[in-house]
Structures are given as C-alpha cells and as structure tokens.
C-alpha cells in the first residue's frame, strides 16, 4: 500500500478556484453530465458530497431532491468553498457545507446513506484515511458513489507521468497517475457493487472510472 502523505494542511488554490467553472463549462454540459446524473440516480436519504469544489454537483442534487433527502458537503479550500456556498444559496435545495478534509470528517458514525465523490480522489492526499472516514460515517449498506480520472496505459501513462509534477502545482494538488479504481475497490469495509472504466476525456485527464461500493454490514476484523 502506498505511503500516505500528511493531510493536515488546509489546501488553498485561489487561481485554480477562479478558473475552475469557466475552464470546465463546456465539458460540464457535454462529457460530464451523464456521469453526474449517474451519481445522483435514485438518490435519497442523507447525502454527503466529498470535496464539493465550486458545487458542480449541487444542481444535480436540486434536480433529484425528495422531501426525505438531506444534503451535506465538505470542502477544505476556502476559495472553492466560497463559490460552493454561493451556488447553494442560489438554489432551492439546502446544502450544509463544512470546512473539512475527507480524512477527518466532522460527522458522527453511521449518519449518511450515500457519499458522493466526483473527481476528488485525485486530490485527496491520503486516500486510505479518507476511505476509513467514509466507512465510519456511512450507515451499514450505505453507498460510496464515485467518478474519478485515473492513470491510462502505454504512451498516455508516460505523458501523464511527465506532466504530473507541474499539473499538481497548477491544478490544486491533482494527481494524474493514481490507480483510484483499484485502491477504492480494495477498501476492506466495502463490497464492490459495480465499477467500470470509461475511455472518456482527453490525455492527460483520461480515462475515468465510475462505480458504487456498499459498506459491509459487519466490520472486517482488524
Ligand atoms: C477537481 S476538484 C472537484 C470538485 C467537485 N467534486 C467537482 O466534481 O467538480 C477537487 C476538490 O477536492 C478538494 N480537496 C482537496 N483536498 C481535499 C481533501 N483532503 N478532502 C476533500 N477534498 C479535498 C479541492 O479543494 C477541490 O475542491
């Protein structure tokens, strides 16, 4: 298992936050839409958006919100969080946003039905710590739904590796070369419901994985 870096420092990327929505506007309307819809399909109960960024998932929550649904989000970067707050305030569905990293979630055990991760495990410094926290806050049989870009094969992987250090500096700590699908599927508190690789995007942000994991009812022996 890879060593986990220190996750205690609060991220702060004002430039990345400022350009995020304009830079992604076209792909949001085209490539990303069906995958964000996948994340909210038949959504109900208490939902956590992990690393909400500027709030790109919020309109999707608004579009499926039922009376019994309640939405929460965490976002540790203050510049991203400010935009997320503005987006939440402008729509009908209330979303309670906290300043916290995925590795230290400010919630009680077993309080969420669904955790949603969209393009965030590329940036979370300590994936396995975040998975432990997600397992802690999900109810038994609760779901982690994810949509993430990952390392490609062959020459594309070599391009990603060469660009990775610069990309990480420019894109708010984003890693281009993570094998997020297999790392999430290996989490011991979860069963894989479904996981698929999507040849979607343009190098270096290609391919993607999306899927659903279900928290086991009985915790694995330590
Ligand atoms: C590429 S953005 C994705 C935002 C959003 N989920 C979306 O779908 O557009 C990644 C986000 O992860 C946030 N982030 C960074 N470190 C984090 C951590 N330790 N836990 C949770 N989120 C983190 C960043 O601040 C950034 O807003």
Cβ–ligand 1 contact at 125 (below 6 Å) = yes
pLDDT at 10: 84
Q: Whose CA is nearest to atom 27 of ligand 1?
A: 53
Residues 159 and 156: their CA atoms lie apart, in Å, by 5
- Give the three-class secondary structure for 208: strand
Among 120, 125, 131, 180, the mutation site with the greatest number of ligand 1 atoms within 8 A of its Cβ is 120
Average pLDDT over residues 153-179: 97
- Give the three-class secondary structure for 27: helix
The answer to whether residues 131 and 103 touch, using CB atoms and an 8 Å cutoff, is: no
Per-residue pLDDT tens digits for 105-139: 999 999 999 999 999 999 999 999 999 999 999 99
pLDDT at 1: 39
The answer to whether residues 50 and 72 touch, using CB atoms and an 8 Å cutoff, is: no
Which domains occur in the chain, in start order?
14-215 (3.40.50.150)
Cβ–ligand 1 contact at 211 (below 6 Å) = no
Average pLDDT over residues 75-87: 97
- DSSP-derived letter for residue 30 is I
pLDDT at 30: 93
Residues 107 and 193: their CA atoms lie apart, in Å, by 25
Asked if residue 3 has pLDDT above 60, the reply is no
How much of the chain exceeds pLDDT 90, in percent? 91
Please give the distance, rounded to the nearest whole angstrom, from the Cα atom of residue 75 to the centre of ligand 1. Answer: 6
How much of the chain exceeds pLDDT 70, in percent? 94
Task: For the chain, count helices (H), then strands (E).
Answer: 7, 7
**Rg over CA atoms, the chain:** 16
Ligand 1: atom nearest CA of 57 is 8
Residues 167 and 148: their CA atoms lie apart, in Å, by 16
Residues 88 and 153: their CA atoms lie apart, in Å, by 38
Cβ–ligand 1 contact at 101 (below 6 Å) = yes
Cβ–ligand 1 contact at 65 (below 6 Å) = no
pLDDT at 108: 98
Q: At what angle do helices 14-27 and 78-89 cross, to 10 degrees?
A: 50
Asked if residue 5 has pLDDT above 60, the reply is no
pLDDT at 12: 87
- Give the three-class secondary structure for 202: strand
Please give the distance, rounded to the nearest whole angstrom, from the Cα atom of residue 221 to the centre of ligand 1. Answer: 31
Asked if residue 2 has pLDDT above 70, the reply is no
Please give the distance, rounded to the nearest whole angstrom, from the Cα atom of residue 76 to the centre of ligand 1. Answer: 8
pLDDT at 221: 55
Asked if residue 219 has pLDDT above 90, the reply is no
Among 123, 174, 204, the mutation site with the greatest number of ligand 1 atoms within 8 A of its Cβ is 123
Q: Whose CA is nearest to atom 22 of ligand 1?
A: 51
pLDDT at 220: 57
Burial label, 177 (beta-carbon count in 10 A; 0-12, 13-18, 19+): middle
For residue 147, the cross-strand partners are 118, 210
Query: Comparing 12-16, 114-118, 123-127, 154-158, which segment has the lowest mean pLDDT?
Result: 12-16
- Predicted model pTM: 0.94
């Amino acid at each position: 298992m890879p060593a986990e870096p220190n996750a205690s420092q609060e991220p702060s990327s004002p430039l990345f936050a400022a350009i995020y929505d304009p830079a992604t506007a076209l792909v949001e309307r085209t490539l990303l839409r069906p995958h964000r819809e996948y994340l909210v399909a038949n959504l109900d109960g208490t939902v956590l958006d992990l690393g909400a960024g500027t709030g790109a998932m919020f309109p999707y929550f608004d579009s499926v919100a039922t009376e019994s649904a309640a939405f929460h989000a965490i976002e540790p970067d203050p510049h991203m969080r400010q935009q997320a707050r503005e987006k939440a305030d402008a729509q009908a569905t209330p979303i309670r946003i906290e300043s916290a990293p995925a590795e230290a979630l400010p919630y009680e055990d077993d309080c969420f039905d669904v955790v949603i991760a969209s393009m965030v495990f590329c940036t979370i410094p300590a994936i396995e710590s975040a998975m432990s926290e997600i397992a802690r806050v999900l109810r038994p049989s609760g779901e982690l739904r994810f949509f993430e870009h990952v390392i490609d094969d062959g020459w594309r992987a070599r391009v990603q590796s060469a660009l990775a250090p610069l990309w990480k500096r420019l894109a708010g700590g984003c890693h281009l070369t993570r094998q997020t699908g297999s790392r999430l599927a290996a989490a011991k508190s979860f069963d894989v419901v479904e996981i698929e690789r999507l040849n979607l995007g343009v190098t270096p942000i290609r391919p993607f994985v999306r899927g659903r994991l279900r928290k086991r009812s009985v915790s694995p022996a330590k």
